[in-house]
Structure 1
Amino acid sequence: MAYFHHRWSLTIFLIVATLALIDRAMAGGYAAPSGFKATPWKLAHATFYGDETASATMGGACGYGNLFNSGYGTDTAALSSTLYSNGYACGQCYQIKCTQSKFCYSTIATVTATNLCPPNWSQDSNAGGWCNPPRTHFDMAKPAFMKIAQWKAGIVPVTYRRVPCVKKGGIKFSFQGNGYWLLVYVMNVGGGGDTASMWVKGTKTNWLSMSHNWGASYQAFATLSGQALTFKLTSYTSRETIIAANVAPSNWQVGMTYQAKVNFK
């Protein structure tokens, strides 16, 4: 009887604890302890663009601008539209390994998705139209490609998997717009790396939902000038949510980048 009572008490405790975690998650301030886990390996192909300086990879469809300033450097890749997911894949991290080619190295490269490799409908999918749907393809910055294969290969078969993004220094928020329209580019996100939803809260407002603009940018049509700003983000992949409190001071300005002290785990 005592053993049964102990098990019953433990069951009640676990149920209550689970409900409490769900409530916190729905409230938006709880990051699930499981975090984002690496996915199984899959097959794809990889090419490269630009030269050894990776200058051609700056900017891109995710809107990260100078990738050195954004924290991504040259370990980046443009994704075919099948992977890009209309920009929701921006910031995701992948491990890529060359396979089944005489040009392969044994090294595994870890890259961040920062750009879109658009379809080339004038070329066959197997002869130049490497990023045509439904192909899964990585167009890597040349320095990243040279970690997995000799550049003269041009294109190589690869295995790849999603992995947690390991970032330092916290999430970065780059501001554009004006006092009545705030456009924010979200960068340097750890964990799942991506963002599905975003909210902003000023010192004089409640939470305001921000709509997805393009790439890794979100916008709010509201009067937010003169207010310190707090942001809430939900990962596209892991659904983890985190609050970055007091990211920008009340005298924030467009054209500036503000860094939070927190990040996805």
Structure 2
Amino acid sequence: MGTLQATVIYLVLLQACGTAAQDQDVLWTSATATYTNETDDTLITEGACGYGDLHKNSYYKYSAGLSSVLFNRGSSCGGCFEVRCVDHILWCLQGSPSVILTATDFCPPNYGLPADYGGWCNFPRAHFEMSKAAFAEIANRKGDIVPIQYRRVKCEKEGGMRFTLTGSSYFYQVLITNVGSDGEVIAVKIKGSKTGWIPMGRNWGQNWHCNINLAGQPLSFEVRISSGRTVTSYSVAPSNWRFGQTFEGKQF
């Protein structure tokens, strides 16, 4: 009886593993990709998500601009995607290696050109605009545009979330970067030592703001990501913080 039970358990686990593998394959979705001609050949230096210097904010060359159907009005900022070149014997590298990209920019549509010739980011096309260096890891750079597959993956980040403070006396803005797990911040609250939790509004990209004077107070942040998980970083910024400074909090 013990042997029979062990056999049944083994078959159940084997079937579950097979089902999980099939489910993972289903996650791949077809799209296209091009690359930008950056002057330093390594990264997209700015972007619609507001991250600014992508070297400084840890995204480097593995960043991408997304077409509107993927960008989703900025809510995809910070999300991570695994991308691989497929179905093109001339341009795809052998073995279809993949790279992990972070959404940092918006690839705007160009309705003056057809979607299959220049208007790569026209709605409803799913398209990734990559750095030249990242593109070269999956495809031959002689290919102007290549067919790819992509899927959402968890963001693996080193260190904690980073909070960069900007604004003025009654306008407080925080840029949140280096977010792990889902990567997509959907809600933020801020708290001073003399206040309760204050919801912040999305200004643009991953810049969040509120209109209240928090000078001279240590600042705490509550961050919620698209999966619904929340992380609270208490007293991240000391009472003598200044605009322009960046502070590191907890990580998902």
Q: Do both share a fold (TM > 0.5)? A: yes
- Write the distance in 2 (CA, Å) between the matches of 1:198 and 1:131: 30
Spell out the pairing of 1:180-259 with structure 2 (5 A cutoff).
180-236=170-226, 238-259=227-248
TM-score calculated relative to the size of structure 1: 0.82
Shift of 1:217: 0.7
Shift of 1:46: 0.5
Q: Which runs of 4+ in 1 moved over 3 A?
A: none
Note the alpha carbon deviations across 1:106-137, whole angstroms, 9 max, x for none. 21111111100011111111110100111111
Note the alpha carbon deviations across 1:207-237, whole angstroms, 9 max, x for none. 000001101110011111110000011112x
Kept in 2, the 8 Å contact 1:79–1:138? The answer is yes
Kept in 2, the 8 Å contact 1:52–1:143? The answer is no
Match of 2:79 in 1: 92
TM-score calculated relative to the size of structure 2: 0.86
Kept in 2, the 8 Å contact 1:212–1:218? The answer is yes
Shift of 1:53: 2.7
Shift of 1:179: 2.7
Note the alpha carbon deviations across 1:64-87, whole angstroms, 9 max, x for none. 111111011111110001111111
Change (3 A) 1:79 1:149: same
Identical aligned residues as a percent:
40
Query: Which amino acid in 2 is paired with 1:100?
Result: D
Kept in 1, the 8 Å contact 2:43–2:62? The answer is no
Kept in 1, the 8 Å contact 2:79–2:103? The answer is yes
Q: Secondary structure at the match of 1:148?
A: coil
Query: Which amino acid in 2 is paired with 1:83?
Result: L
Match of 2:52 in 1: 65
Match of 1:104 among 92, 96, 120: 92
Spell out the pairing of 1:1-265 with structure 2 (5 A cutoff).
40-51=27-38, 53-54=40-41, 57-101=44-88, 102-105=90-93, 106-236=96-226, 238-260=227-249, 262-264=250-252
Shift of 1:251: 1.0
Shift of 1:50: 2.1
Change (3 A) 1:211 1:139: same
- Write the distance in 2 (CA, Å) between the matches of 1:218 and 1:141: 27
Change (3 A) 1:39 1:172: farther
Shift of 1:180: 1.4
- Write the distance in 2 (CA, Å) between the matches of 1:252 and 1:109: 37
Kept in 1, the 8 Å contact 2:43–2:132? The answer is no
